[in-house]
Chains A and B, each alone.
Chain A
Amino acid sequence: MNKLNRRHFLGASGSVLALAAMGRPAFAQNTQIRHFWWGNPERDKRTFAVIDIYNEKTPGVTVVGETLGFADYFTKLTTQIAGGNMPDVIQQGYGVLFEYIANGAVVPLDEYIGNSLDISKIDQSAIDAGTVDGKFYALSIGANSHMAMYNTRMFEEAGVVPGETFDPYAYTYDELAEFAATIKDATGVPGTDDNTADYQNFSDFVVQKGAMLYNEDGSYGPTQEIVEEYWSTWEKIRNAGGTPPAQETAGLAGVSELSQMGVVTGNTAMTYLWSNQLVGVQSLMEDKLGVATYPNTPDMVPGSVIQPSQFVCLTRDSSDPEAATAYMSAFVNDLEMTKVLGLERGIPSQSEVRAALQPDLTEVEALSVEYFDKIQGSTAALPPPPPSGSNEVEQTFERLAVAVLLEQRSIPEVASDFLRQANAILRRA
């Protein structure tokens, strides 16, 4: 109906649009399933190809793909929620997902399991990650973990040898301070990013210290001591000379563009991100990347978790949940389809799919698979879903940490200010 309007309205141009629309048969009797994801050129091509395969296989159902860049995805989704016009199947990230679940925008899948939806071969950990209050909501389409990425050329030039100078899977903040300074001395490039304003590193540190980011009752976990110690730890590394000047770090606070990361711009030799960003970061660099965990304290209590990077979920606006969940099921299980998708969204959580992909991995993909093998067993347990407002707490941390970097206020002062604001945010949410 809507499409008809447009074609009429635009007359001549409409026929061209209709031409462009060929290959997407749209018969009125068909059930139409809208699938919406954030992507990039490669992911879009693969996903549209998978949709074509599915439509070929499934008469009577037409899946329609909709895609945007990450920066715009949630703006549009928010608008669609308000309009009651969400696509049937949406992509979600760990974190935001739980706000959607809490508000009922994403609906449980339990009644479809065993019928239209097959989760029998999905890793239990992935199922747990998509479960809230005993109900299963979200299908993981890629595992993710914290990952440090370093410039192998710079490390080599400085004589810092992974496995000898430091263990990339278990090294301390003190060791980091030392080899980062060595790299700076040898190459002129600071050996590491300064993570004072990096909330992901902070959340690792909290768990390494035996605390939790959020307590069972949803209150904020980190204590004044932990926050202070975290910032002092990085202050020490900074003072050892292995990081860029504090002001330079402060200028990048809040910026998440991969192209601006230290390891990409060549301003540092090591940057701390997520494992599913490895391929993207490598594609912006000439030098080869090596991988390591985040640093740890001497006690080596695991701080990082393995969690899904992305989920597919069913929305409350879906008009045909049966057909939608059948498509979701194929998206994670169908070997023909998952072969096309590959590792583009991260390491699949379905064992058969993983095995089938093993032979055709690219070099970088193989590196991230190896990383996952190595960290198995030395990661922390997945905490309960973060409460509403966690997103804002994170932003507040990044904002106030700049005051530490610029030495505008003392660490204890900023730490107590941060905890006060964090608690106020959680109360308000």
Chain B
Amino acid sequence: MLKFLRRNFAGYAFLSPWLVGFFLLAIGPILASLYLSFTKYNVVRPPQWIGLEHYFYMFEFDDRFKKALQVTFTFVVISVPLKLIFALGVAMALDKGIRAIGWYRALFYLPSILGGSIAVAILWRQLFNYEGVVNSVLSLIGIQGPYWLADPDYALWTLIVLAVWQFGSPMLIFLAGLRAIPQDLYEAAEIDAAGPVKKFFAITVPLLAPVIFFNLVLQMIEAFKSFSGAFIISGGSGAPLDSLLFFTVYLYNEAFSFLRMGYASALAWVLLLIIALFTIVAFWTSKYWVHYENERG
């Protein structure tokens, strides 16, 4: 017993703030939402237990649920890799040898600061208007752009561009990661006449792997839960023709516009399971490509 305590004491001591927060503040609401997902709950009246009914309804009858899943998957699969590649590219460009580097970083972070503000919503409408800036640029190279915001085939792309444009936070994390890579490794590689490509794959990628992994998992989770962009640009509705019906936008409407908090909770738990599944897969594959310094040798 004493041995057990001694072995575990330090770990639990450091974990204690989190444990207190988790049990006092976090787990209660999460379990409550799980409970509510088995009830009919319109917020005004006490919840009524209905078992699995919401889940059955969702998979059998709810076409908008399926549409929301499809939109969200498409968004995740396209936007996350693009955003990460962009973020890593810019982070590497900003890593060294640039004057006024702090200002550049701030500039590249700007779009993320403007985030989900109303200014961005208005601006995005102006940019992607039929006669807007984007189509003017396209027409310079002889392409007649579509009605971006009206055409269900294209509307999602405006949101993907928005997401990629706000690559600031993974960029900053990559930057911190790059700064942790010992420079003498690169120098040694150069003596071996390694080119930039080789250096990238032989040094940068393996040593940055924990950070790449972090950004991948977190950006994926964020993308699945992505809300404000689609919400403000589609006026909260997911229009046109539900092509911007992100999962959380649908969930928000169910919860707060139509006061079906029980159903919204069920939707949330389905999303949670999907995200968890993807995260577990990511963690499992990470064994093969992410190696940590403190586990080596």
Q: Interface of A with B (CB < 8 Å)?
A: 74-75, 78, 81-82, 99-100, 103-105, 245, 247-257, 259-260, 389, 391-392, 395, 398-399, 402-403, 405-406, 408
Give the docked Cα–Cα distance between A399 and B235 (Å): 12
B239 touches A245 (CB 8 A): no
A406-B42 in contact (CB<8A): no
* B: interface residue count bin: 20 to 34
B237 and A395 within 8 A (CB): yes
Q: Which residues of B contact A253 (CB under 8 A)?
A: 237, 239-240
Determine if A78 and B237 form an interchain contact, defined as CB atoms under 8 angstroms apart. Answer: no
Rank and list the top 6 A-B pairs by shortest CB-CB distance, nearest first.
Answer: A251-B150, A254-B237, A251-B149, A103-B44, A254-B239, A247-B147
Complex Cα gap A251–B150 (Å): 4
Segment 200-222 of B: residues with Cβ below 8 Å from A: none
Complex contacts, B129 vs chain A, CB 8 Å: 251
Option from A82, A247, A251, A392 in Cβ contact (under 8 Å) with B43: A82
CB distance from B32 to the nearest CB of A (A): 11
- With A254-B235, A260-B122 given, is the CB distance from A247 to B151 under 8 Å? yes
Q: Once the chains bind, are A402 and B240 in contact (CB under 8 Å)?
A: yes
Nearest CB of chain A from residue B228's CB, rounded to whole Å:
12
CB–CB B256/A403 < 8 A: no
B234, B239, B258: the one within 8 Å of A391 (CB)? B258
Q: Determine the distance from Cα of A353 to Cα of B267 in the docked complex, in whole angstroms.
A: 49
* Distance of A395 Cα from B237 Cα, bound (Å): 8
Q: Which residues of B contact A (CB under 8 A)?
A: 42-45, 121-122, 125, 129-130, 147-152, 234-242, 253, 255-259, 261
Q: Is the interface of B mostly helix, strand, loop or mixed?
A: loop
- B256 engages A74 (CB within 8 Å): yes
Q: Are A251 and B257 in contact (CB under 8 A)?
A: no
Q: Are A78 and B240 in contact (CB under 8 A)?
A: no
Inter-chain contact B147/A103, CB cutoff 8 Å: no
Q: Which of B44, B130, B240, B241 contacts A100 (CB 8 A)?
A: B44
16 contacts between A and B (CB under 8 A): A75-B256, A82-B43, A104-B45, A245-B147, A248-B130, A248-B147, A251-B240, A252-B149, A255-B234, A255-B239, A257-B235, A392-B257, A399-B241, A402-B239, A403-B241, A406-B151
Report the minimal beta-carbon distance from A77 to chain B, rounded to whole angstroms: 10
When the two chains form their complex, are residues A78 and B45 in contact, meaning their CB atoms are under 8 A apart? Answer: no
Contact of B235 among A82, A255, A405 (CB under 8 A): A255
CB pair B237 A399 closer than 8 Å: yes
Tell me the nearest residue of chain A to B122, going by C-beta. A259
**Pairwise interchain contact B256-A402, C-beta atoms closer than 8 A:** no
State whether A103 touches B125 (Cβ < 8 A): no
Please name the residue on chain A nearest to B155 by beta carbon.
A251
